[in-house]
Chain A
Amino acid sequence: MKQRVIAVVLTCLLVLLMVSGCTGTTTGFAPAGSSENKKLVVGTNAEFPPFEYIDDNGKPDGFDMALIKAIGEKMGKEVDIQNMEFDSLVSSIGTKIDLAIAGMTVTEERQNTVDFSDPYYTAVQYVILPADSEIATYEDLSGKAIGVQLGTTGDFDASDIEEADSSTKVSRYNKGVDAVNDLLNGKVDCVIIDKNPAETFVSKHAEELVAVDGSQFGFEEESYAIAMPKGDKELVDAVNKALQEIKSEGTFDKLVEEYIGN
């Protein structure tokens, strides 16, 4: 009996040691791109056309990718893009990646854990509906089955609706396209997602689906920005400076035209 007690205590100690060791390394670990390094490790979630998607060659491409490469060039760093789940992005900043660019909306909650660059794009959430849907107002959304991508602004909006009316069912997918698939199969009544991916998805199913501007539903306009480790003022300043230069040179507008249109 005594031996067993000792064994349990030792196991607990070992686990604790491992766990505390992990936290120690996360906080003390210097990100790969700190100033002495030539590489800028960028995290994204390539499931968000036209901002980021996997191109025909299997590489992440899109507006954000082109933008961050231009920024990297200005900073004199080689951009290394890591594709991961959207909801893993913020907790990876500062450890696995130097910064994240993924059509990420600036929110107060996120600002508690990361610092954002100047916003580079403003957008509003869109609602994708079946062409014959009767949903037309914010009130119509309550009690419905809503599809979203986990951890996105659409998820937060849908969660608000769910909180106000618990009969609302929110399905959270890893990818926007999965949500749209289930909308086509009739498993959800609508999908709340950012404007540009909404339009991209609807253009592929123009017969069955429509995308409605979320401002009609009272969703607020939001700004996309690049997320960086909290308190890394040097990096934030460098990125903002590069972004400013790209804008004043006209490269930014060219990228908007190339990838986003309108």
Chain B
Amino acid sequence: MGELEQKFAAAFLTEGRWILYFKGLGVTLGIAVLAAILGVIFGTVLGIMKLSFREDGKKTLWNILATAYVDVIRGTPSVLQLLIMWFIVFATWNNGVAVASISFGLNSAAYVSEIVRGGILAVDVGQMEAGRSLGLSKAMTMRYIILPQALKNMVPPLGNEFITLLKETAIVGYVSLTDLTRAANQIASRTYEAFMPLIGTAVIYFVVIKILTLLLGVLERRLRESDQR
């Protein structure tokens, strides 16, 4: 046990190494939150675009554009998207967190758009018909009848997406950002002991995501309060 304690001390305590994990966790959460905000906003727009059809049932230009975007994003690895953003698109922009947030946000938007689309499609088509027959416009029915119901459908998969996003940020070390995973790597490259930093970091991720899961559960229950089931 003495050896384990020593390794623990070397990996977390000496030279204030815990600060590095803390800062790393800050970067991880910062990127994840910013990316999620961008992803939800842009993803909702994309999702609605993917639902627009012409009178004759064919796809509108908006729909085609959004579909193409989602195809490209889902068809390429996110680490590659990050590298392209860092070394090519924003080659001279030095704000790593911002570039990573944009990169992950644009990536997440593609997945969110499918969640939004699925959430809206899951609301019975009769709801739209009912709204229209009551004299509401298409937009008003969407805003006051469809979307509130769709939102409840979207919360679980959106929570899922955020958790995935949070863990996916572990690749930002590729562009020299020090997130939680990179902090662990950096410390392992000093102490030459991979065990403690890696297991410790896994525990930190797990705890953060567990807390997040609990919060999402609370949110879901609140949203379901009005349901008569």
**A residues within 8 Å of B by Cβ?**
19, 23, 26, 86-88, 90-91, 109-110, 112-114, 145, 147, 150-151, 155, 171-174, 178-179, 181-182, 185-187
Interface of B is mostly: helix
Supply 18 further A-B pairs (C-beta < 8 A) apart from A150-B186, A187-B92.
A87-B186, A87-B188, A90-B192, A91-B188, A109-B190, A109-B192, A114-B192, A150-B173, A172-B176, A172-B178, A172-B186, A174-B173, A174-B174, A178-B175, A181-B87, A182-B176, A186-B94, A187-B94
Q: Interface 1/0s, chain B 153-186, versus A by CB < 8 A?
A: 0000000000000000000011110100010011
Q: Which of A23, A86, A110, A150 has the most CB of B within 10 A?
A: A150
CA of A151 to CA of B173, assembled, Å: 13
**B residues within 8 Å of A by Cβ?**
87, 91-92, 94, 173-176, 178, 182, 185-186, 188-195, 199
Interface of A is mostly: helix
CA of A262 to CA of B185, assembled, Å: 35
A178 touches B176 (CB 8 A): yes
Question: Hey, which chain A residues are within 8 Å of B94, CB to CB?
Answer: 145, 186-187
- Closest B residue to A23 by CB, please name it: B195
Question: Hey, which chain B residues are within 8 Å of A87, CB to CB?
Answer: 185-186, 188-189
Question: Hey, which chain B residues are within 8 Å of A173, CB to CB?
Answer: 176
- B216 to nearest A CB, angstroms? 19
A150 touches B192 (CB 8 A): no
Question: Hey, which chain A residues are within 8 Å of B194, CB to CB?
Answer: 88, 91
Task: Take A87-B188, A91-B188 as given contacts and tell me if A147 and B195 are in contact as well, using a CB distance cutoff of 8 Å.
Answer: no
- B92 to nearest A CB, angstroms? 5
Question: Hey, which chain A residues are within 8 Å of B199, CB to CB?
Answer: 19
- B105 to nearest A CB, angstroms? 21
B185 touches A186 (CB 8 A): no
